[in-house]
Every structure is written in structure tokens, then in C-alpha cells.
Amino acid sequence: MIRFAAGRRIISGVSVWRCPQQITRAANYSTKAEQLFHSQASSVLHSSRAASINRLLSIRPLSWHASRLCHRDSQGTSVRENTKEGFSLKALTQAPKPALYLGFSGLIPFLTAPLLMAATQSFYPEVAYAQVVYGASIVSFLGGARWGFAIPAGSPAQPDWMNLGNSVVPSLVAWLALLCRDNIAEGALVVIMGLGLSLHYDLTLLPGYPAWFKAMRTVLTLVATFSLVATLTFKKFCIEKKIKEIQN
């Protein structure tokens, strides 16, 4: 609607000379609003980029435990976990009773010889040699146990040159001990060496035995070794006698 009043042109009740000012002011307002919008948008964009960069920098490299990369047996237990399982005497409580009773009863021939010599305060070469023969048979048995452990399919101890070869070594050591019939001290020392070598194989070099068996093997080996050392001590410090002298 256009009308004229007092010599001035009015458009919709607004003075003509005021329209350009309002239009310019509106344009300025729109320009400022756009600048504010762009500045806010750019700040949000920069903050989002910075956050994404910080997020990328904060990502840590993925680490895998060695046990996850290991081969697992049929029961889901890692072979490396079995190999590196720590030694503890508390594991003897997990041992099957037949293995525990038979294992410790196997110490009777080892302990009989030094107990007899301690009771009579004498050294008997026949008794000492019987102890050495029994120790040699135990050393050979330990090598055979390792051989039998490596043969079954799925066993962590593979039937390779290391496992089977090390299984034969204790039998050869036991044979050498039996050859020392005329020298009981040398035979006893060879048996001690065979017991220590077998224990070293089972605890460190070759994988697979459960913790209770390792604990039992350690205790049995120590007792057997001390019994042989006790026999050698009686040989050195006690009078040597024959079994026939006891019968007479």
C-alpha cells in the first residue's frame, strides 16, 4: 500500500529514507550472524578434529599374552602353561593316592641300607651294592617313563630325537653303575648322577608332567640321593664287615 503524506513518500507506513538504513542494518545483522555461525562451526570442527586426533593417539597397541598364542591340548590347557608351571610342594595334595603311596614306598630299599649300617655301626658292601642296583633300576625306570610319555598321540612331549634320546640316557647311566661292582663308591656316584640328570630333564628341559608329579619326583630324588650319600659316609668312617659275619 502506497500513500503520500506531508510531501513525503511512505511505503507501508515507513519513511522512504528509513528503509535503506533498516535494510543496511538487517544486512549487517545477517552478516554478523553468518560470521558468528561460521566461527562457531569452525571451532566445533576444529574441536572434533582435535578430539579425533587425540583419540587416535590414545589408542594403545594390542598385546597378546604368550599363553593365547600357544597350542592347547584336548582339555584346553596351554602346553606352555604346563611347561612353565611353578614347582610347589603343595601340589602333592593333588597327587593320586596310588602314585603317592607307591612312590614313597619305593624309598624303602634306599633307606634300609643306611639304617642298617647306622644300627650296627658298620659298612656292609653287599648291602651297599644292593642299594646301588636298586638305584640303577629306578634310574632306568625314569627314562622308560619319559619314553612312554612321549609315545601316545596328543602328548605334549613329542616323540622326537630330544625326548626319546634323553629317555635312553638314564638307562645307559644305570648300566654304567652296574658295571662298578668292585667299586661301590663309583657306582653310587653314577646312580646319584643319573637321578639328578633325570630330575633335570623332567623339571626343565622336557614338557608335560603335571605339578604333583614334579613335586613328588623332587622329594623322592632328594631322599634317594641323601640315602646314597649316607651309605658312602658309612663306608668312609665305619668298619667294613661282611654279611656272613653277622650270621656267625
- pLDDT per residue as tens digits for the range 176-203: 999 998 899 999 999 999 999 999 988 8
Q: How many domains does the chain have?
A: 2
Domain carrying residue 51: 2-57
Average pLDDT, the chain: 75
Strands (E), 12-144: 14-15, 122-123
Considering the domain boundaries, does residue 65 fall inside one?
A: no
CA-CA distance, 138 to 144, in Å (whole number)?
10
Q: How far is CA 3 from the centre of its chain?
A: 101
Considering the domain boundaries, does residue 140 fall inside one?
A: yes
Whether residues 20 and 93 share a domain: the answer is no
Residue 34's pLDDT is 54
Last residue of a domain, one of 22, 40, 57: 57
Considering the domain boundaries, does residue 29 fall inside one?
A: yes
DSSP single-letter state for residue 160: S
Whether residues 112 and 20 share a domain: the answer is no
Whether residues 108 and 217 share a domain: the answer is yes
Whether residues 127 and 94 share a domain: the answer is yes
Whether residues 52 and 137 share a domain: the answer is no
CA-CA distance, 165 to 147, in Å (whole number)?
9
Last residue of a domain, one of 13, 42, 57: 57
Say whether pLDDT at 163 is over 70. Answer: yes
Long-range contacts of 57-63 (CB under 8 A, 24+ apart): none
Considering the domain boundaries, does residue 226 fall inside one?
A: yes
Last residue of a domain, one of 42, 57, 72: 57
Whether residues 46 and 154 share a domain: the answer is no
Whether residues 107 and 189 share a domain: the answer is yes
Considering the domain boundaries, does residue 160 fall inside one?
A: yes
DSSP single-letter state for residue 78: B
Tens of pLDDT, residue by residue over 95-112, are 999 999 999 999 999 999
Whether residues 89 and 134 share a domain: the answer is yes
CA-CA distance, 210 to 170, in Å (whole number)?
21
Give the strand pairing for 239-240 and 14-15: unpaired
Q: How far is CA 43 from the centre of its chain?
A: 54
Considering the domain boundaries, does residue 69 fall inside one?
A: no
Q: What is the pTM of this model?
A: 0.64
Whether residues 126 and 29 share a domain: the answer is no
Whether residues 33 and 125 share a domain: the answer is no
Whether residues 203 and 146 share a domain: the answer is yes
Q: Where does the pLDDT of residue 68 fall: very low under 50, low under 70, confident under 90, or very high at 90 and above?
A: very low
Find, among 103, 111, 108, the residue nearest to 217 by Cα.
103
Whether residues 169 and 52 share a domain: the answer is no
Q: Where does the pLDDT of residue 78 fall: very low under 50, low under 70, confident under 90, or very high at 90 and above?
A: very low
Q: What percent of the chain has pLDDT over 70?
A: 62
CA-CA distance, 201 to 164, in Å (whole number)?
12
DSSP single-letter state for residue 66: T
* 243 residue type, one letter: I
Considering the domain boundaries, does residue 178 fall inside one?
A: yes
Considering the domain boundaries, does residue 73 fall inside one?
A: no
